[in-house]
C-alpha cells in the first residue's frame, strides 16, 4: 500500500501517455476539496472549495487551497468541473477566478445557479457550461461523462474522465439513498457500465468509510420532524445548512400540515432558497412564506423560522440568538431543531449554542436526542457496492480525514484490490497513472491559505501562533528609553500589560533586573536596538515563567534618545 512520506521531493516531468493527479485539498480533512488532473501539458480541475476555520485559527474567515502549483499555468486549465453546490466544493471559486476570470465552469443547473449568485457578490461574471447526468463533453484531451449521484443537495454529479492515459471515475460526494426525496438515484448502472469498460483509477468519497451498513433514508426524518411540530407549543426555529434544500422542503411540508407560517432567517438561507424555488427544486405553497418582520404580529404557535447556524458559526443567526444579539429573542417554550450533523471540529461551538439556547428556556432537539439528520455520504456497505461494481485497477481514497481514508483503503482491499494498487495520498502528494499503474511520484506545496477580512494569504502560521498566545496568555509591553550614543538606559522602564493576569505592582520586582541587564550591555558596548530588545524579552520572559508559569507575548520597545 502506497503511503505519503515527508521526504518526497518534487515530481519528475510527466511522462508521455501518463496522467497526473494532484489534490490541493480535501485529503486528510473535511473541506477545501480541489483536485488537479494533468495530461499532455493541459489541466482539468475538479472542485474548488473552502475549509472553515477551527478554534486554533482565531480571526480567520475561510481557508483556501494553495493555488501556487497551478498559478503559472492557469492558461493551461481546460475547465473547472464542480460536482455539487456545497461550500467545501465551490467556495474558493471566486478566489481562483480573480487570477483567471474566463476559466470555464462546468456543473449542473443548481450548482451553477448557487455559484453564479456567489460570484455576483464578488462582481465576477463567469463563463459557464451547464451539464446534466448522461451528458458527455470534451475539454481538450479530457473526455468527461457525468453521472447522477444522490447527496444532501440536489443535482450532485459524479464525473468519469477519459484520457489516452486511462479512465478515471471521481464520485464526488455521494450516498445510495434508495428512496430519495427528489427521486434522483445514484446511477449504479452507469458505475457498473464504466466498470465493464475498465476504470484505471477510482477516486471515491471516504467520509463515512468507518460507518458500517447503509445510510438511513432521508424519508425517515419526516415523521421525526412532524413529531417535533406536534409537541411544540410556541415558535419552532429550525437550523440547517443553507444548501440543504431537501431538509427545508420537509420543514415546509410539516409547517403547512400544522397550519404554521415560515420565515427564512440569514442572508445565505434567503438567497439559496429563493434560487431553489425559482428553479423548481423547492416547492412552496403561495401563502406559506412570510417576511421575518411579520413575526412580531403573529402568535408564537403559528410561526416557524428556518435559520442558518447549525454549526455554531460565530456570526450566524442562531448563534446570535443564543447570545441575545439578534432581533429574534429566544423565549421560554420555544423549540429549536438542529437539523444537521456535526462537522468535525465544530463540537464545542455547537454545544455552546445549545447551552445558550437552553439557558433562555428553549427546548433543543438535535442529532444527539432525535433522528433529525442523516448523512449525505455513503457508509461502508455502500462503498463496497461501488468497489464491487466498478472493480477499479487502482484506487485513491478522497474526501476524508486520515482515519476515513485508511478505512476506505481497507474496504478496497477487502473487495479484492491488491494493496500496492491503493494510493493513500495527502494534500500535495502527486499520483501518476502510467500503463495501468498508479504510483506516488513526489509532492508539491499545498498548504493553507487564510482569508481574514479582505486579506487573502497575508495571515501566516506565525501570525496565528501570535494570536493564540495573545488570546490564551495576554501580552506584556516594555518601553525602555536609551541613549542613542552610549546605549545607557534613560529613566525607568515602563511596563504595560493586557490579559496576562499579573498585578501591575508585581512588576516592581522585575524592573531593577531589566535595568541591570541593560546597564551591563551598555558597559559591554552593546547599543544595537535588536539586541537590547532581545535582552529585555529574555529577562522579563524568564521572570514571568518562573514566577507565574505563564508565557505571555512580550513586546519590548526600545526608544533611542
Ranges in the chain annotated CATH 3.10.20.580? 461-560
3-state secondary structure 398-411: ECECHHHHHHHHHH
Tens-place pLDDT, residues 121-142:
889 999 999 999 999 999 999 9
Range in 65-79, 327-341, 491-505 with the lowest mean pLDDT: 491-505
CATH class of 461-560: alpha beta
- Residue extent(s) of CATH 3.40.50.10710 domains in the chain: 218-365
Q: Among 532, 511, 508, 529, which Cα is nearest to 520's?
A: 532
Q: Is the pLDDT of residue 2 over 70?
A: no
pLDDT higher than threshold 60 for residue 449: yes
For 414-428, what is the mean pLDDT?
95
Top pLDDT among 553 and 109 is at 109
pLDDT of residue 4: 47
The second-level CATH assignment, the architecture, of 18-214+375-456 is 4-Layer Sandwich (3.60)
Do 393 and 200 touch, CB atoms closer than 8 A?
yes
Least reliable range by pLDDT among 18-27, 146-155, 352-361, 535-544: 535-544
Per-residue confidence (pLDDT) for residue 472, from 0 to 100: 67
Taking 80 as the threshold, does the pLDDT of residue 312 lie above it?
no
What's the pLDDT at 466? 66
| Residue of 251, 262, 258 whose CA lies nearest to 292 | 262
> Which tops the pLDDT comparison, 159 or 555?
159
Question: Is residue 356 very low, low, confident or very high in pLDDT (cuts 50, 70, 90)?
Answer: confident
DSSP-derived secondary structure letter, 297: G
Neighbouring residues of 280: CB distance < 8 A, sequence distance ≥ 6: none
Query: What's the fold here for domain 218-365?
Result: Rossmann fold (3.40.50)
241-265 average pLDDT score: 92
- pLDDT, tens digit (0-9, with 9 covering 90-100), for 526-547: 777 778 888 888 888 888 888 8
pLDDT tens track for 177-230: 999 988 999 999 999 999 999 999 999 999 999 999 998 898 998 999 999 999
pLDDT surpasses 80 at 93? yes
Residue 409 has pLDDT above 90, yes or no: yes
Q: With a cut of 50, say whether residue 1 has pLDDT above it.
A: no
pLDDT reading at 87 higher than 80 = yes
- Structure confidence at residue 425 (pLDDT): 94
Q: What is the pLDDT of residue 6?
A: 65
Q: Which of 22-31, 388-397, 412-421, 483-492 has the lowest mean pLDDT?
A: 483-492
CA 195, CA 180: separation in Å to the nearest integer? 24
C-alpha torsion 225→226→227→228, nearest 10? 50
Indicate the SS3 state at residue 68.
Answer: helix
Of the pLDDT bands very low, low, confident and very high (cuts 50, 70, 90), residue 231 is very high
Tens-digit pLDDT profile for residues 255-295: 999 999 999 988 889 999 999 999 999 999 888 999 888 88
Please give the pLDDT value at position 38. 98
Please tell me the pTM assigned to this model.
0.83
Confidence of residue 3 (pLDDT cuts 50, 70, 90): very low
Mean pLDDT of 465-470: 67
User: What confidence tier does 556 reach under pLDDT thresholds 50, 70, 90?
Assistant: confident
| CA torsion angle 38 40 43 44 (round to 10) | -70
Range(s) of the chain covered by CATH 3.60.15.10: 18-214+375-456
What pLDDT does 273 receive? 94
Q: In the predicted model, is pLDDT for residue 176 greater than 70?
A: yes
HSE-CB of 142 using CA atoms within 13 angstroms:
27
CA distance 353 to 548: 33
> What pLDDT was estimated at residue 320?
84
Give the chain's mean pLDDT.
88
pLDDT value of residue 535 = 83
Q: Hey, what's the cell of 375?
A: 448523512
What's residue 536's pLDDT? Answer: 81
Amino acid at each position: 500500500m502506497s503511503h505519503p512520506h515527508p521526504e518526497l521531493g518534487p515530481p519528475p516531468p510527466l511522462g508521455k501517455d501518463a496522467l497526473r493527479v494532484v489534490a490541493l485539498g480535501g485529503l486528510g480533512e473535511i473541506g477545501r476539496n480541489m483536485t488537479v488532473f494533468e495530461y499532455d501539458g493541459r489541466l482539468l480541475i475538479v472542485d474548488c472549495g473552502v475549509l472553515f476555520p477551527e478554534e486554533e485559527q482565531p480571526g480567520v474567515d475561510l481557508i483556501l487551497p494553495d493555488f501556487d502549483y497551478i498559478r503559472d499555468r492557469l492558461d493551461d486549465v481546460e475547465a473547472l468541473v464542480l460536482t455539487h453546490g456545497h461550500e467545501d466544493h465551490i467556495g474558493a471559486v471566486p478566489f481562483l477566478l480573480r487570477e483567471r476570470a474566463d476559466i470555464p465552469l462546468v456543473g449542473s443547473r443548481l450548482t451553477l445557479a448557487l455559484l453564479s449568485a456567489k460570484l455576483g457578490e464578488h462582481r465576477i461574471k463567469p463563463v459557464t457550461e451547464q451539464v446534466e447526468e448522461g451528458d458527455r463533453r470534451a475539454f481538450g484531451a479530457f473526455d468527461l461523462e457525468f453521472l447522477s449521484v444522490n447527496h444532501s443537495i440536489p443535482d450532485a454529479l459524479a464525473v468519469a474522465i477519459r484520457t489516452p492515459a486511462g479512465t478515471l471515475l471521481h464520485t464526488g460526494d455521494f450516498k445510495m439513498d434508495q428512496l430519495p426525496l427528489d427521486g434522483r438515484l445514484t446511477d449504479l448502472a452507469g458505475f457498473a457500465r464504466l466498470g465493464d469498460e475498465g476504470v484505471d483509477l477510482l477516486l471515491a468519497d471516504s467520509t463515512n468509510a468507518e460507518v458500517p451498513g447503509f445510510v438511513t433514508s432521508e424519508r425517515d426524518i419526516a415523521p421525526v420532524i412532524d413529531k417535533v411540530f406536534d409537541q411544540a407549543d410556541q415558535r419552532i426555529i429550525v437550523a440547517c445548512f443553507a444548501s440543504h434544500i431537501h431538509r427545508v422542503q420537509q420543514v415546509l411540508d410539516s409547517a403547512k400540515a400544522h397550519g404554521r407560517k415560515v420565515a427564512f432567517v440569514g442572508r445565505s438561507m434567503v438567497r439559496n432558497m429563493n434560487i431553489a424555488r425559482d428553479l423548481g427544486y423547492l416547492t412552496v405553497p403561495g401563502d406559506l412564506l412570510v417576511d421575518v418582520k411579520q413575526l412580531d404580529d403573529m402568535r408564537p404557535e403559528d410561526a416557524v423560522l428556518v435559520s442558518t447556524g447549525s454549526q455554531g458559526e460565530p456570526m450566524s443567526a442562531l448563534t446570535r440568538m443564543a447570545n441575545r444579539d439578534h432581533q429574534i429573542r429566544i423565549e421560554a417554550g420555544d423549540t429549536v431543531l438542529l437539523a444537521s450533523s456535526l462537522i468535525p471540529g465544530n463540537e464545542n461551538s455547537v454545544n455552546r449554542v445549545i447551552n445558550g439556547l437552553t439557558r433562555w428556556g428553549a427546548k433543543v432537539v438535535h442529532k444527539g436526542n432525535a433522528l433529525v439528520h442523516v448523512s449525505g455520504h455513503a457508509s461502508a456497505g455502500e462503498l463496497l457496492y461501488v468497489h464491487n461494481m466498478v472493480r477499479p485497477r487502482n484506487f485513491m481514497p478522497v474526501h476524508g480525514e486520515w482515519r476515513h481514508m485508511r478505512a476506505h483503503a481497507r474496504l478496497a482491499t477487502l473487495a479484492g484490490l491488491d494493496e500496492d494498487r491503493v494510493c493513500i495520498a495527502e494534500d500535495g502528494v502527486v499520483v501518476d497513472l502510467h500503463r495501468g499503474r498508479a504510483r506516488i511520484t513526489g509532492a508539491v506545496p499545498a498548504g493553507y491559505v487564510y482569508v481574514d477580512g479582505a486579506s487573502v494569504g497575508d495571515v501566516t502560521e506565525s501570525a496565528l501562533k501570535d494570536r493564540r498566545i495573545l488570546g490564551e496568555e495576554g501580552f506584556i509591553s516594555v518601553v525602555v528609553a536609551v541613549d542613542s550614543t552610549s546605549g545607557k538606559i534613560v529613566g525607568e522602564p515602563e511596563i504595560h500589560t493586557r490579559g496576562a493576569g499579573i498585578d501591575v505592582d508585581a512588576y516592581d520586582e522585575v524592573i531593577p533586573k531589566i535595568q541591570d541587564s541593560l546597564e551591563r550591555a551598555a558597559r559591554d558596548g552593546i547599543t544595537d536596538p535588536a539586541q537590547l530588545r532581545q535582552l529585555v524579552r529574555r529577562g522579563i520572559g524568564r521572570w514571568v515563567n518562573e514566577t507565574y508559569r505563564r508565557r505571555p507575548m512580550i513586546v519590548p520597545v526600545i526608544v533611542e534618545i
